[in-house]
Amino acid sequence: QSDTGLETAVRFPADFLWGAATASYQIEGAATADGRSPSIWDVFSRRPGAIVNGDTGDEACDHYHRYREDVGIMSSLGLRSYRFSVAWPRVQPDGRGPANQAGLDFYKRLLDEVQGAGIEPMLTLYHWDLPQVLEDAGGWPARDTAERFADYAAIVHGAFGDRVRYWTTLNEPWVSAMLGYHNGAHAPGRREPAAALASVHHLLLGHGLATAAIRSQNESATVGITLNLAATSPATDAAADLDAARRIDGVANRLYLDPLLLGTYPEDVVRDVAAITDFGFVQDGDLATISTKIDMLGINYYTTNVVAAPNGNGPDAGSPHPAAEDVRHIGRGAPKTAMGWEIDPDGLFQTLKMVSDNYPSVPLYVTENGAAFDDEIGPDGTVDDPERVAYFDSHLRACHRAIEAGVPLRGYFAWSLLDNFEWAFGYDKRFGLVFVDYRTQRRIPKSSARFYADVIARNELW
Ligand code: PNW
């Protein structure tokens, strides 16, 4: 609001990249089609109790067969860009060796459709569906997996490098490492703190090696990585709360940002986790590889951390934070989404500002932001989701404020295009702009889809 009380336009830059995002295992289904091998999620989702309702991604949104309809929806929303991931087990079912052409062909058909609609693809190489054969060989705690990832990246870039401009290596290495190997909430469901920290290093190394492999094919490729980041604040100014915030910010944000953008692991975090690992997995030259210059940084944002010092009740067994399992997560008392995540749009501004203030400048993209709510089809057949509209509106205002404050934010991707397989929560949590009726595979754009289409068409909020 201006002093006159008149609304000032919340207008976005003319070339702002408006998109929506998905991930292969969450939408594709067709788990055994055309030579795809099992991923760690095919195996983990069959473990009793691992996923709400015992759901799996076997069918998901059947996007593998319905991609034409789904690209039609993207068109009708006016998306400028579509962020999706490639399933490694489709492209390289053995996790090593030759490519599976039938797997590549699916992504060729998809890209033909997406680009035919004038939509700019943003391709993510890894959104958590590691070929199970590579987990059997050690998974991310094993250094070899980083080398295998670079080979796979070279295959995919070799196939599509001439037509895809935006490449991101990994989606959220924190989730892969900490939910996969520390608290075991995600595939492969291991609870091994030392292995989790080795995974962090090998994921980042894989990112660096893959970036180099892509650059060796095309020097001018636009390559980056996506991190889930959350500004972290202390409950009070008490020294113990400040230290709790430092520790969580360390293992959740700086453990990834520092090696990627500064070429070093944060000393305080290395000290905090010293009882778990001595970082013996770091070899000469690794940090130079990891900090290979990137052309963009993707940020996935859902909520923030407000933390307090341990209260002596001991560690939280489900904590994803090594050496900080006893830090208390107290929140702000703000309304929550169906995930139980507090809604904190200012936290998105703070997160973008933190990255742009503390690290060398790199173009930023919000590669995921969105919310789950308990959507239902109404009596008239529509899905009305005013809470999601409000969520997007408030978070887009935070993005706009960040741009005004000088943050080099170049685009925004709503999570997600479609309701989909929400990992450990199965189909129970709906994040889509578009409702999916899993019995019929019918797609119903929610009111938030119409809202977002209007934002894109006007390039501003009103
Ligand atoms: C991200 N956490 O995952 C992913 O990139 C998406 O695939 C996912 O659907 C979306 O956010 C919503 O969950 C996360 O436990 C999963 O803090 C879990 C956490 C964070 C991000």
pLDDT tens column, 91-103: 999 999 999 999 9
Query: In sequence order, what are the residues at sequence separation of 6 or more whose Cβ sits closer than 8 angstroms to the Cβ of residue 379?
Result: none
Share the mean pLDDT of the chain: 97
User: Tell me, what amino acid is at 439?
Assistant: R
From the CB of 415, is ligand 1 less than 6 Å away? Answer: yes
From the CB of 196, is ligand 1 less than 6 Å away? Answer: no
pLDDT in tens, 98-119: 999 999 999 999 999 999 999 9
- For ligand 1, the distance from its centroid to the CA atom of residue 223, given in whole angstroms, is 22
Burial pattern 219-255, b for ≥16 Cβ within 10 A else e, equals eebbbbbbbbbbbbbbbeeeeebbbbbbbbbbbbbbb
DSSP assigned state of 372: -
Atom of ligand 1 lying closest to residue 416 CA: 9
Is the Cβ–Cβ distance between 416 and 372 less than 8 Å?
Answer: no
Residue whose CA is at the smallest distance from ligand 1 atom 9: 422
Dihedrals phi, psi of 357, to nearest 5 degrees? -80, -35
- Residues forming the annotated binding site for substrate? 26, 127, 171, 302, 415, 422-423
121: tokens are 């693809």
Distance separating alpha carbons of residues 344 and 352, to the nearest angstrom? 13
Is the Cβ–Cβ distance between 455 and 396 less than 8 Å?
Answer: yes
- C-alpha separations of 127 from 319, 420, 454 in Å: 22, 14, 29
- For ligand 1, the distance from its centroid to the CA atom of residue 205, given in whole angstroms, is 22
pLDDT in tens, 320-332: 999 999 999 999 9
Which pLDDT score, from 0 to 100, does residue 5 have? Answer: 55
Which pLDDT score, from 0 to 100, does residue 1 have? Answer: 43
From the CB of 183, is ligand 1 less than 6 Å away? Answer: no
Q: Interface pTM (ipTM) of the complex?
A: 0.95
From the CB of 249, is ligand 1 less than 6 Å away? Answer: no
Is the Cβ–Cβ distance between 19 and 82 less than 8 Å?
Answer: yes
User: Tell me, what amino acid is at 30?
Assistant: A
170: tokens are 């990994």
Helix axis angle for 101-116 and 144-160, nearest 10°, is 50
Which pLDDT score, from 0 to 100, does residue 9 have? Answer: 84
Query: In sequence order, what are the residues at sequence separation of 6 or more whose Cβ sits closer than 8 angstroms to the Cβ of residue 183?
Result: 191, 318, 319, 320
Query: What would the DSSP string read from start to end of 237-297?
Result: SSHHHHHHHHHHHIIIIIHHHHHHHTSS--HHHHHHTTTT---TT--TTHHHHHT---SEE
286: tokens are 């690794």
Distance separating alpha carbons of residues 20 and 240, to the nearest angstrom? 40
- For ligand 1, the distance from its centroid to the CA atom of residue 429, given in whole angstroms, is 11
Question: Mutation test of ligand 1: which of 83, 300, 373 has the most ligand atoms closer than 8 Å to its C-beta?
Answer: 300
- C-alpha separations of 412 from 40, 70, 206, 212, 225 in Å: 29, 19, 25, 26, 15
- C-alpha separations of 440 from 56, 222, 435 in Å: 17, 39, 12
From the CB of 368, is ligand 1 less than 6 Å away? Answer: yes
Q: Is the peptide bond before 131 cis (omega within 30 degrees of 0)?
A: no
Distance separating alpha carbons of residues 60 and 372, to the nearest angstrom? 17
Question: Mutation test of ligand 1: which of 39, 253, 415 has the most ligand atoms closer than 8 Å to its C-beta?
Answer: 415
Which pLDDT score, from 0 to 100, does residue 2 have? Answer: 45
Query: In sequence order, what are the residues at sequence separation of 6 or more whose Cβ sits closer than 8 angstroms to the Cβ of residue 429?
Result: 338, 339, 372, 422
From the CB of 422, is ligand 1 less than 6 Å away? Answer: yes
Please identify every stretch of the chain with a pLDDT value under 70, giving residue numbers as ranges.
Answer: 1-7
Is the Cβ–Cβ distance between 346 and 303 less than 8 Å?
Answer: no
First to last CA, the chain: 11
Residue whose CA is at the smallest distance from ligand 1 atom 16: 175
**Catalytic residue ranges:** 172, 368
- For ligand 1, the distance from its centroid to the CA atom of residue 217, given in whole angstroms, is 31
Considering the entire predicted model, what is its pTM?
0.98
From the CB of 241, is ligand 1 less than 6 Å away? Answer: no
